Amino acid sequence: MKYEIQNIHTSYFIFHPFPMRWLAFLTKKGLRLLLLLVAVAIFSFGLISLSPIDPVDAYIGADMLQISAEQRAIIAARWGLDQPLHVRFGSWLAQVMQGNLGTSMIFNQPVLTVIGERFLASLGLMATAWALSGLLGFGLGIAAGMHQGSLLDRAIRFYAYTLASSPTFWVALLLLIIFSVSLRWTPICCASPPGLLPEEVTFAQRLHHLLLPALTLSIVGVANMALHTRQKLIDVLHSDYALFARAQGETTWGLVRQHGLRNVALPAITLQGASLSELFGGAVLVEQVFAYPGLGEATVQAAVRGDVPLLLGIVFFSAIFVFVGNTLADLAYQLIDPRIRLANAAPAGD
């Protein structure tokens, strides 16, 4: 009977319409994203409303003492800050449902425009750091796990533990002092040479300015991936089937290639997908240190200067960004391990 049930599941996987499975998967993810955005909207708006920063004072800036009460009231009415909290939230939510995140107070542009321009600057930085940290962390974890207890293993663990306990901004300042100030190998700030128009900047110049910020983010993000991959590989190499394979004359590299890589790849992908939120938070600090004009710097400006529409828009965007990254990790599982496709294809009640 058990064999017949397994055959039914296999035939279901083979003949079940492919679009229906993906439609169900995407529908479930879409509902989760909707609930996530509702929760983010409520909590973010509530927390920002409790901020000690007065948006009107932050908007006026240094001229605060020269503004009369009537002018202050006009500014508050212009941005809807004279309304009760629930009225402001309702108005903002109605705009969001129409695809309009409002207008930035400090940039005087639509929030979507500001996010789009700043995200393009941050995309290369975060993508490069994300790829480098994943590949380097996975490789170091494999090397440490294969040589457990060796000098190489201890060196990799020391490196990972040191970075895991080091603040991102401190690492960024240290690298800036070494490579930009002392050695003068890399630029000290910005995403391009100051004084040049965007169309005058070459690809090599952009890459030169991107190198040190991306390196900072990637070497900090290596720690979790390396330690996690190392431990998972050690578990695989000490499993019963690995011990049996060793008894049959299999080498350590053969075990890693045949059994270890696939078994440690799935947890590594999960960890790398979850690291997008940490990567976004690290980018905020790194962009401040290197004066990199990306989305992280815009986040700090919006928080310090009380730009509520822009800050809420960035929070919304970051939630979607992290959710999409985790969804792509779920899709990658099915490419690495076909058994996950079979489990997902099995009908309810299995």
Distance, CA of 279 to CA of 217 (rounded, Å)? 7
Q: Is the predicted pLDDT of residue 342 greater than 50, yes or no?
A: no
Return all residues near 48 (Cβ < 8 A) that are at least 6 apart.
308, 311, 312
Distance, CA of 174 to CA of 332 (rounded, Å)? 36
Domain ranges, residue 288: 107-337
Q: How many domains is the chain built from?
A: 1
For residue 245 the two structure tokens come to: 């394979």
Tell me whether residue 76 is in a domain: no
| pTM for the full predicted model | 0.71
Distance, CA of 306 to CA of 55 (rounded, Å)? 5
Model pLDDT, residue 152: 92
- How many other CB atoms are found less than 10 A from the CB of residue 190? 13
Model pLDDT, residue 4: 37
- Residue 160 · residue 283 · CB < 8 Å: no
DSSP class of residue 348 equals T
Tell me whether residue 212 is in a domain: yes
Q: Is residue 347 left, alpha or beta, with left meaning phi > 0 and alpha meaning psi from -120 to 50?
A: beta
Tell me whether residue 226 is in a domain: yes
Tell me whether residue 99 is in a domain: no
Model pLDDT, residue 14: 40
Model pLDDT, residue 338: 58
How open is the CA angle 301-122-164, to the nearest 5 degrees? 90
Digit-coded pLDDT (tens) for 109-157: 888 888 888 888 888 888 888 888 888 989 999 998 888 888 999 999 9
pLDDT band at 346 (very low <50, low <70, confident <90, very high): very low
Which phi and psi (to 5°) does residue 239 adopt?
Answer: -75, 165
Model pLDDT, residue 3: 36
For residue 26 the two structure tokens come to: 């995407």
- What average pLDDT does this structure show over 46-64? 71
Tell me whether residue 80 is in a domain: no
Tell me whether residue 81 is in a domain: no
pLDDT band at 65 (very low <50, low <70, confident <90, very high): low
Reduce the DSSP state of residue 177 to 3 states and report it.
helix
Q: What is the 3-state secondary structure (H, E, C) of 141-163?
A: HHHHHHCCCCHHHHHHHHHHHHH
Could you tell me how many helices (H) and strands (E) the chain has, helices first? 15, 0
DSSP class of residue 190 equals S
Reduce the DSSP state of residue 77 to 3 states and report it.
helix
- How many other CB atoms are found less than 10 A from the CB of residue 3? 7
Distance, CA of 22 to CA of 14 (rounded, Å)? 14
pLDDT band at 333 (very low <50, low <70, confident <90, very high): low
Q: Is the predicted pLDDT of residue 158 greater than 70, yes or no?
A: yes
Tell me whether residue 233 is in a domain: yes
Mean pLDDT over each residue of the chain, to the nearest integer: 78
Digit-coded pLDDT (tens) for 3-45: 333 333 433 334 444 567 777 777 888 888 888 888 888 888 8
Tell me whether residue 15 is in a domain: no
Q: Is residue 239 left, alpha or beta, with left meaning phi > 0 and alpha meaning psi from -120 to 50?
A: beta
CATH number at residue 137: 1.10.3720.10
Percent of the chain with pLDDT over 70: 85
- CB-based burial of residue 102 (10 Å sphere; 0-12 exposed, 13-18 middle, 19+ buried)? buried
- What average pLDDT does this structure show over 194-204? 79
